[in-house]
Amino acid sequence: MAGLKYMSGFGNEFSSEDPRCPGSLPEGQNSPQACPYGLYAEQLSGSAFTCPRPANKRSWLYRILPSVKHKPFAAVSCGNLTEDWDEVEPDPNQLRWLPFSIPKPTEKKVDFVSGLHTICGAGDARSRNGIGVHVYACNASMADRCFNNSDGDFLIVPQQGEILITTEFGKMLVEPNEICVIQQGMRFSVDVFGATRGYILEVYGAHFELPDLGPIGANGLANPRDFQCPVAWYEDRRVATGYTVINKYQGKLFACQQDFSPFNVVAWHGNYTPYKYNLDDFMVINCVAFDHADPSIFTVLTAKSTRPGVAVADFVIFPPRWGVADRTFRPPYYHRNCMSEFMGLIKGHYEAKEEGFQPGGASLHSIMTPHGPDADCFEKNSTAELKPERVADGTMAFMFESSFSMAVTKWGLQTCQKLDKNYHRCWEDLRSHFDPKWKPNKH
């Protein structure tokens, strides 16, 4: 949307005022006896007060009315959103889904919250340790209602249709091939402009960080300055018919009513904010000699566990790049992983499975479940001329990788009716090339 402004940086100490109210940020302190313009001061904490400074997350919001002014919460239907990982028996098979359906507006108006569907996940929001993987499929904007996730952070990956997200910190327009993160406790509302679909990685108990670069050095992968944070914007709007705040709490949905818009923050400062990122800005690192580097070189964001080097969840992309490795099978290798791998496709064709894996669909390769290129990909790339080539042009695939062993929901296995029952057949034509009489070429 033309005219939206952003601030640049990842995890910075930002400060912002709506230009309609200059001087609305208090000077020299957070909670004066009387705030400028008669505003209320409210802190939003994203970490324990006593966290070490590098991990301490909080923002101060200066608002027309505090968020505590609302009627009591009451339970509402969760639809297909769940944290019940025991609905169906575990399934260790390779799973692939055809593109998830988007409801037609002529049949039913569905907004972002009503269009949330949980595919898989693990852990427990109450113990603040776990993840959820969801898709959203909607056709209508949220009217006089907002969403608030008390359980964790949402990393949102639009696949079809741009979304205009209004938050307490300001507005963000997020298009396919961009991502955004709405952190725990932040209220937001989503406007759409037609048939809209995307993916969500939810993380309980940890926030996303930029991965450490180690020997890569100071520059590379996702650079901090390419992340964008909204600027302050407020509306002083009374809603006589009632404004609905939907709260995801301990895996369930609750709703309360208030008579004003929650997006009444005139100014704010802090380092706990929503943000967005364009995947085209990712500085790709790749093999330039031989062999195939692990997909960890494509990590955009990571949510760390307490075990060094082991992530609760990584967000990994497979962007357009050059393939130049000599004497190497260049596509992904055959693999059994101690991590769970959920993949989605924003656009184009994924190199290792050009048929069947479609934009708006997904796959799940669970812990220690074997996976790798289909038979056609293996045969073609085992004999291909190894000249420099562009890989994945016009494509953007991604992966949510997690140390959790994820369970698939009943909706994911049955209700959605998008599970590809023939997925296993893409490996059926793999044949033995074993030759016991093979001898190395003499040079």
Bridge partners, residue 270, by sequence: 14, 59
145-177 residue pLDDT tens: 999 999 999 999 999 999 999 999 999 999 999
CA 72 to chain centre: 30
> Does position 1 have pLDDT exceeding 60, yes or no?
no
> Does position 217 have pLDDT exceeding 60, yes or no?
yes
Q: What was the pLDDT predicted at 351?
A: 67
Summarize the confidence of residues 190-211 as an average pLDDT. 97
Q: What was the pLDDT predicted at 284?
A: 96
Bridge partners, residue 96, by sequence: 363
Q: What share of the chain is helix, strand, coil (3-state, %, to 5)?
A: 10, 40, 55
**Residue carrying the six token digits 């290798």:** 333
Annotated binding residue 335: yes
Question: 72-263+273-279: what CATH class?
Answer: mainly beta
- Domain 72-263+273-279 shares a fold with domain 284-420: yes
Beta-sheet strands, E only, within 231-319? 238-249, 252-260, 265-270, 275-278, 299-304, 311-318
Distance CA 259, CA 252 (A): 24
Q: Give the DSSP letter of residue 348.
A: S
Count of CB atoms within 10 A of residue 27's CB?
A: 7
Residue 223 confidence class, pLDDT cut points 50, 70, 90: very high
Count of CB atoms within 10 A of residue 287's CB?
A: 16
CATH number of 284-420: 2.60.120.10
> Does position 354 have pLDDT exceeding 70, yes or no?
no
Distance CA 2, CA 109 (A): 27
Percent of the chain with pLDDT over 90: 94
Residue 337 confidence class, pLDDT cut points 50, 70, 90: very high
If DSSP codes are grouped into helix, strand and coil, which group holds residue 30? coil
Residue 342 confidence class, pLDDT cut points 50, 70, 90: very high
Task: Give the residue, 105 or 283, on which the prediction is more confident.
Answer: 283
Amino acid at residue number 392: A
Q: What was the pLDDT predicted at 107?
A: 87
Ramachandran angles phi, psi of 318, nearest 5°: -125, 80
Annotated binding residue 365: no
Distance CA 234, CA 432 (A): 65
Percent of the chain with pLDDT over 70: 98
> Which residue is catalytic, options 134, 292, 433, 443?
292
Cα–Cα nearest to 208, from 141, 75, 303: 303
Q: What was the pLDDT predicted at 352?
A: 56
Distance CA 292, CA 289 (A): 9
Global pTM reads 0.96
Q: Give the DSSP letter of residue 385.
A: -
Q: What was the pLDDT predicted at 2?
A: 57
What distances in angstroms separate CA 135 from CA 38, 299, 333, one per listed residue?
Answer: 41, 21, 28
395-430 residue pLDDT tens: 999 999 999 999 999 999 999 999 999 999 999 999
Annotated binding residue 204: no
Q: What was the pLDDT predicted at 357?
A: 87
Task: Give the residue, 413 or 349, on which the prediction is more confident.
Answer: 413
9-66 residue pLDDT tens: 999 999 999 999 999 999 999 999 999 999 999 999 999 999 999 999 999 999 999 9
Q: What was the pLDDT predicted at 8?
A: 98
Annotated binding residue 269: no
Distance CA 314, CA 302 (A): 4
For the chain, which residues make up each domain, given as ranges? 72-263+273-279, 284-420
Ramachandran angles phi, psi of 204, nearest 5°: -95, 135
> Does position 6 have pLDDT exceeding 70, yes or no?
yes
Whether residue 292 lies in the annotated active site = yes
Put the strands of the sheet holding 188-192 in their side by side order.
74-76, 252-260, 238-249, 145-149, 188-192, 163-167, 170-174
> Does position 315 have pLDDT exceeding 70, yes or no?
yes
Q: What was the pLDDT predicted at 105?
A: 86
Residue 442 confidence class, pLDDT cut points 50, 70, 90: confident
Summarize the confidence of residues 236-254 as an average pLDDT. 97
